[in-house]
Amino acid sequence: MKLKEKEQAIRLRRQGKTFNEIVARLGVAKSSVSLWVKDLDLPPKAQERIASLQTAGQKAARKSKMAKTQQNLLRIRNESIDIIEKMNFDKYTALVTCSLLYWCEGAKTLNDKTFTFTNSDPVLVQAFLKLMRTAFELDERKFRVRMHLHEYHNENVQKRFWSVITEIPQSQFRQTYWKPHTGKNTKEGYPGCIHVMYYDVYVSRKVCAVARAFLENVIK
């Protein structure tokens, strides 16, 4: 055992030196230092210094990790934008994408007669309807919207908001459904949930059929 190094390590630790500082000073393994000083009763000042340096090191490590994460997210976002920009969103691509979104978020019935898309994300609702309008020649008069709101919502404000998002006139909005109060806190910025309904059996069945055909083709 390196008695001299051990004694020096104990002395430095009692001065408030960190493991890394002791290792750098003595040139020994960190595992050895940890073993030598693990049961030491340190003075308050030494404890404070070690704690402050560890906190600073942790903050620096978190900052470095966050920076790397942001770089990775930016790289992935740019790669994703590049992929999407290379796509040709023609009528057929719009139909397939719209159908898959509906398959995930829409109402399905046995004979596919019901067409209701439900969501609370304005971006998703807006994108879905744009794809739907690209894929089909729609009769805009067949759209209906029902809002599901909480008691803290302003009905008129939310109706104007969702009318802009969906490009469906407020006159085609049905009576609002008010969700029962649960006692939970309000969700800041939550616009409520909406059901977008379109009354056309052909469109409803076509959307579901395309989604099924795509999925079945994938797993062949």
Strand ranges (DSSP E) for the chain? Answer: 116-119, 143-149, 177-178, 193-198
- Return the pLDDT at 86: 86
- Return the pLDDT at 135: 95
- Return the pLDDT at 77: 93
Residue 115 Ramachandran class (φ > 0 left, ψ -120 to 50 alpha, else beta)? beta
β-strands 143-149, 177-178 pairing:
parallel
- Return the pLDDT at 93: 93
- Return the pLDDT at 1: 53
- Return the pLDDT at 183: 62
C-alpha 74/C-alpha 82 separation (Å) is 12
Tell me the helix, strand and coil percentages in the chain, rounded to 5. Answer: 60, 10, 30
Q: For the chain (length 220 residues), average pLDDT per consecutive 10?
A: 83 89 89 88 88 76 87 94 87 94 88 90 96 96 96 94 98 94 75 95 94 93
List C-alpha distances in Å: 103 to 108, 115, 128, 132, 140. 8, 11, 12, 13, 22
**Which domains occur in the chain, in start order?**
3-81 (no CATH), 91-218 (3.10.28)
pTM for this one?
A: 0.69
**C-beta neighbour count of 25 within 10 angstroms:** 14
- Return the pLDDT at 63: 82
- Return the pLDDT at 180: 82
Burial pattern 48-76, b for ≥16 Cβ within 10 A else e, equals ebbeeeeeeeeeeeeeeeeeeeeeeeeee
- Return the pLDDT at 184: 67
- Return the pLDDT at 190: 92
C-alpha 5/C-alpha 27 separation (Å) is 9
- Return the pLDDT at 129: 97
- Return the pLDDT at 116: 95
